[in-house]
Amino acid sequence: MLPADVREPVTLAYLLARAADTVADTRLVPREERLRHLETLRRVFDGAPADVSGVLRACVHHQPNGVERRLLERVSDAVGLLASLPDRDRAEVQRVLATLTSGMALDLTRFPGDGVADLAALETLEELDEYTYLVAGCVGPFWTAIHCAHRPRLRPWPRREMSALGARFGKALQMTNVLRDVPGDLRRGRCYLPAKELAALGLAPADVLTADGARRARPLLARLIGVTLDHYDAGWRYTYAIPRAEWRMRLACAWPLLIGLATLVALGEHPNPLVAAAPVKIPREAVRAILVRSALTVWSNAALARDAGRLRASVRV
**Do 147 and 249 fall into the same domain?**
yes
**Do 90 and 222 fall into the same domain?**
no
53 vs 160, more confident: 160
pLDDT score at 303:
97
pLDDT exceeds cutoff 90 at 39: yes
Residue where a domain stops, chosen among 60, 93, 110: 110
3-state class (DSSP) for residue 191: strand
Residue where a domain stops, chosen among 81, 110, 139: 110
**Do 102 and 157 fall into the same domain?**
no
Name the band, by pLDDT with cuts 50, 70 and 90, for residue 14.
very high
Tens-place pLDDT, residues 224-280: 999 999 999 999 999 999 999 999 999 999 999 999 999 999 999 999 999 998 999
**Do 35 and 125 fall into the same domain?**
no
**Do 168 and 242 fall into the same domain?**
yes
Name the band, by pLDDT with cuts 50, 70 and 90, for residue 197.
very high
| Cβ 54 vs Cβ 40: under 8 Å | yes
**Do 71 and 136 fall into the same domain?**
no
52 vs 183, more confident: 183
Domain of residue 43, residue span: 1-110
Calculate mean pLDDT across residues 155-170. 97
| Cβ 44 vs Cβ 77: under 8 Å | no
The CATH number given to whatever domain includes residue 207 is: 1.10.600.10
pLDDT exceeds cutoff 90 at 113: no
pLDDT exceeds cutoff 90 at 54: no
**Do 94 and 143 fall into the same domain?**
no
**Do 314 and 208 fall into the same domain?**
yes
Integer Cα distance of 221 and 276 in angstroms: 14
**Do 127 and 64 fall into the same domain?**
no
Domain tally for the chain? 2
pLDDT exceeds cutoff 90 at 218: yes
Residue where a domain stops, chosen among 110, 135, 152: 110
**Do 38 and 122 fall into the same domain?**
no
What global pTM score does this model have?
Answer: 0.95
Name the band, by pLDDT with cuts 50, 70 and 90, for residue 149.
very high
Backbone angles phi, psi at 54, to 5 degrees: -65, -35
How many residues make up the chain in this entry? 317
pLDDT exceeds cutoff 90 at 168: yes
DSSP alpha helices (H): ranges in 111-217? Answer: 125-132, 139-150, 159-180, 182-187, 195-200, 211-216
**Do 104 and 132 fall into the same domain?**
no
pLDDT score at 266:
96
Name the band, by pLDDT with cuts 50, 70 and 90, for residue 27.
confident
**Do 130 and 104 fall into the same domain?**
no
Tell me what percent of the residues of the chain surpass a pLDDT of 90: 86
Look over the chain and give the mean of its residue pLDDT values, rounded to a whole number. Answer: 95
